[in-house]
Amino acid sequence: MSFTFKEHYDANDLIGIVKKLRAPDGCPWDKVQTHQTIRSEFIEEVYEAVEAIDENDTEHLREELGDVLLQVVFHCVLETEQNHFTLNDVADDVCQKMILRHPHVFGTVDAETTEEVLKNWDAIKMQSKSQTTASETMESVSRTLPSLMRGEKLWKKADRGGFRYENVMDVIALTERQLAALKASVLAEQTQDYERQMGELLLSVTGLSRFLHTDCEKSLYFACDDFIARFKALEAAAGAQGIEIQKSDPGMIHQLWDDISKKDKNGGNENEQD
């Protein structure tokens, strides 16, 4: 399969490159790939693009979006080889969808606020997918989403289906009940219940996060960064005192950790009062 070198390439050239890689005289690795074998790479590239967004790094984002686009094109080429669909078919589908779901832009429907837009979007989406109940919309939420994100989406669908809490304290009380249930299972050493109870607790936390208008996935993301930073501070503080963390009394290490956490929450001001 011939190939023409250029100074600049476009999306059509990317399709040609992937086809060249898949051709009999192409790349031994690319020729044997399937949707299933590159599934993880697709997920990884999307996460790396999201990381570039979080870093507000335009150059990095451009690179990572290219990697995501490569994955999209690769999957489309796999389907084109089977005469199922092409990248243009995919583009047509999504264009049709966007036009259909934005009647306030491409039609005569009025929608002056974000809330009205989302209400119309959900109604049109349910109609286009032949969904008649809230549970059907919940079942349509992808099971492969990160579970915290999936949980928040399920709470949103439930809320729109009429299952909602009136104030934040009710949601906090729900979370406390789930924590108490887990604690009771631990005290009773009912190990067979741990996973289910932990799931119930985490799901209630995603509901609380949605009620507080926070992003549960993002909250945990930054909490993990904070955890690493505090552990570095713990290692530094322990080293300064000649303490080996792995060999020391856990109570002493936990006290060091609490001191670091307190200092961190006080913005580094050790003299600030509680």
169 and 242 both lie in a single domain = no
Distance CA 263, CA 125 (A): 49
33 located within any domain: yes
CATH code of 181's domain: 1.10.287.1080
243 and 259 both lie in a single domain = yes
182 located within any domain: yes
Residue (of 177, 134, 168) closest to 154 by Cα position: 134
Confidence of residue 268 (pLDDT cuts 50, 70, 90): low
- Given a cut of 80, is residue 210 above it in pLDDT? yes
- Given a cut of 70, is residue 241 above it in pLDDT? yes
**The one-letter amino acid at 209:** S
Confidence of residue 233 (pLDDT cuts 50, 70, 90): very high
193 and 227 both lie in a single domain = no
The pLDDT tens digits for 149-178 are: 999 999 999 988 889 898 999 999 999 999
Answer whether 0.85 is exceeded by the pTM. no
DSSP 8-state secondary structure symbol assigned to residue 2 = -
39 located within any domain: yes
Q: Where in the sequence is the domain holding 150, given as residue range(s)?
A: 131-214
Q: What is the mean pLDDT of residues 6-15?
A: 94
111 located within any domain: no
125 located within any domain: no
How many domains in the chain? 3
70 and 86 both lie in a single domain = yes
**The one-letter amino acid at 52:** A
55, 76, 98: which is the final residue of a domain?
A: 98
162 and 204 both lie in a single domain = yes
